[in-house]
Amino acid sequence: MAVLTCGELGYSSLEQLLNRFRLSLTVVADNAPIPGSWFGEPEAGVIKTELLIRSDTPVHSALHEACHVICMDETRRAELHTDTGGDYDEENAVCYLQLLLADHLADMGRERMMQDMDEWGYSFRLGSTRAWFTDDAEDARDWLIQHELIQKDLTPNWRLR
């Protein structure tokens, strides 16, 4: 199964989601370099509060990088260009938030995000995204609650850290 791309998803639902966090979306031309991409094309790029994608950028990549911007503190965000940095706990929180926010993208959802993350090669101790999310991610959930990015019922607070 191929992972869902931003072009296949369409840009409006991703843009609406990002707008709730005061993040902007820039779509670059097909085959053009993606500024701010840590892993290189077709992976998403980030510069400050701007997410940069192409039509062939996987949705999981776009949402993952956006969640990095959401989870990092204001000081890092102000200087952000390409390398999101962060520690192990923040990376786990990013993956967890990515799954929660997938439910707010039309035609994506958490289940598809889990499949795409597994297909792309995200690795978790328990062997799959689903197993990690349901049985091993309490620390990530707690990190997001502590930093007031989600409620205890897993509802996003729609704010940047």
Q: Report pLDDT for 116.
A: 96
Identify the pLDDT of residue 22: 97
Q: What is the pLDDT of residue 145?
A: 98
In the block, residue with structure tokens 């709730």: 20
The residue ranges of the chain whose pLDDT is under 70 are 1
Which pair of structure tokens corresponds to residue 16?
């609406």
pLDDT at 121: 85
pLDDT given for residue 1 in this prediction:
67
pTM of the model: 0.96
- Return the closest-CA partner of residue 42 out of 61, 25, 67, 18: 61
Specify the 3-state DSSP secondary structure of 37. Answer: strand
> Following DSSP, what letter does each residue of 92-150 receive, concatenated?
HHHHHHHHHHHTTSTTTHHHHHHHHHHHHT---TTSSHHHHHHHS-HHHHHHHHHTTSB
pLDDT tens-place string over residues 92-112: 999 999 999 999 998 999 999
**pLDDT score of 125:** 78
pLDDT of residue 99: 98
Q: What was the pLDDT predicted at 123?
A: 77
Nearest to 64 by CA among 134, 125, 129: 129
